[in-house]
Structure formats: structure tokens, C-alpha cells
Copies of this chain bind each other. A is one copy, B any other.
């Protein structure tokens, strides 16, 4: 077992330096957990296959070897059990990080997450907080078979008491996971699985942006594209293509889905007066609905056109060979933008 110190992780000193070298997102996440395990002996990791195998995506690779089975271990195969025992451990004072193998496999734990993880702090008047991080490889784009490509964010973001964040690049993956682990609030940490092996990110200089802030990842003047997780790359591609059409696109990476960074988004929309939100999940009641509704509420008189949602269709996630027809593409986004009346 690796030596551990009693120093608690300090959210203030997330070290982007560590992630500054070109890492994959997988490696950045692994490093974040490694550093947290080293700095705080109360951090433990468990779940399905997270031990010797390192998880089906190898995000916990080497952690059991380096920290021992009493810090990082394979649990029985039961998601409600994983979350339920994590709650008990957190009540004891540990800071459990658990992995749900895919979004759809967090559903057996829905009751534990919604009725307990989200509510324990409030129920006990703040006396019992649950510093649990629930890591979920999310979304599609890897040709996964049924149940392996869901985007579950709307279920979690509608649930008061949960903090829901999602990184879109390795640097954020590192700093946001560190901050999530250090947070006394339970965090749903959505990892875009299609990005695990991508090295390119949005390099950041200076200290890491707090995980509850959105980032303007590309400046523009005509339209604001609101994206998160796997759709940030799509939005950036769209912005590039839009140059040909003389359309200046600002791209925001929301990063934090709950809370929502009204300030950053509001400022952008007031500037561009047009916005669209992009996600993979089904549209109806999806996270984009909240984004569109709240931004419209707050910035209605600055809007020249309705906020558009370019999202998955209202159908179950398709089989691998058909997913390309479902996922939002730059072409589809540009098509959608062209439906706006532009000469108002």
C-alpha cells in the first residue's frame, strides 16, 4: 500500500500544472484520483471492475496496485449497493469515489442517489454531508451497444442537492475531478467516454477555473453555442465551419450543469443576442430545455431569436450503425441556425 498523509485535499490548490503536459483525459482523471488518494487517506475508490482491471475504460488503472485493496477495490456487482455503502462510508468520514460503469447502469441506484445522496445534507440540517463523487462515463460516439450510450444528465440536474459537472478536455478533467473530490457536496461527475483517449483539449494557462464556472472557449459576436462534455468539440467545429459563412460563433463550455453559470452565459447572450444549446440526450425535457428556458427568462429582451436546441431526437439511443444519424453534427447545427430569421 502506498504511503498516505492525513492532509486533506484543498480545493484551492488544484494543480493544473500536472495536467499541462499533453495527457489523455483518461490519464488526467487517473492522475487526479492518484493525487487525491496520496493526499488524503480518507479517499477510497470502489465499484465494478475498478480494481485490478482498472475499470472497463482503464480510468483507475494501477490504483489498486499502488494504493492497495483497502483504498481501491472491486465491489459486488450492484449499483444500489455501491451508492448505498458509499453513503455509509461518507457518513463515517471517508470520501468515496465510485464508478457507475455506464449511465444506464446507474439507474438501479436511482433511489439511493435521488432519495439519499441528494437529500441527506438537507434532511439533517447540514449535519451530515456526503462528500461522494459518482463518476459516470457518459454519452455516445463510440458505437456502443444498447444501454451504453445514454446521457443521463437531465435526471440528475433536476434533482436538488446534486452537483453535476462534466469536463470536455484533459485539463478540466484533472482540476474538476480534484475539486469534486474535495467538495463536501456530492458530485455527479460525467465523463464523455468518446473523449477518454483524446489528447487535444483546451489548454489553460494560469490557475484552473473553478468547477462551477462556464468557460468561453471561443469568442464570437453573432451566435452563442452552449455546449458541454462531448458537444464542446462539435460546437468548436461548427464555429470553424461557420467562418466560411461569415458567422462569428462564440462557444461556451458549460462545465457545470448544476449549478448553471448564469453570469457567464448571460454576458455572452447579451452580446450575441442569439444562442443555441447542443447536447446528445433526447430533446424533450432534456438539459437544453432548462438552458433555453432560464436564459430566455433572464435575457428575453436581449434575444433576437428563440434559443434553439440541437440535440438527440426523442427516441431511444440508436444501435451503433445508426448513431451518426442521432448525434448532433456541425452540419445539423448550421442548418438549425439558418432557420432563424436573420434580418430582424
A interface with B by C-beta (< 8 Å): 80, 104, 107-108, 110-111, 114-115, 118-119, 122-123, 146-147, 154-155, 157-161, 258, 260, 281-282, 284-290, 292-294, 296-298, 300-301, 303, 305-309, 313-316, 341
Contacts and interface: CB of A to CB of B under 8 A. Distances in A.
A123 B104 CA distance: 15
A111 B5 CA distance: 40
Contact of A284 (B123, B158, B307, B309): B158
Which 3 A-B residue pairings sit nearest by Cβ, starting from the closest?
A158-B285, A110-B110, A107-B111
Nearest to A120: B316
A308 B294 CA distance: 9
Contact of A158 (B286, B305, B308): B286
Nearest to A107: B111
A83 B115 CA distance: 19
Contact of A161 (B111, B281, B287, B316): B316
B285 A307 contact: no
B284 A157 contact: yes
Given A293-B288, A297-B309, A314-B160, A115 B111 contact: no
Nearest to A286: B158
Given A284-B258, A285-B290, A300-B305, A316 B111 contact: no
Contacts of A303: 300
Contacts of A110: 107-108, 110-111
B286 A296 contact: no
A159 B283 CA distance: 10
Contacts of A282: 158-160
A289 B284 contact: no
Given A110-B110, A146-B123, A309-B293, A154 B160 contact: no
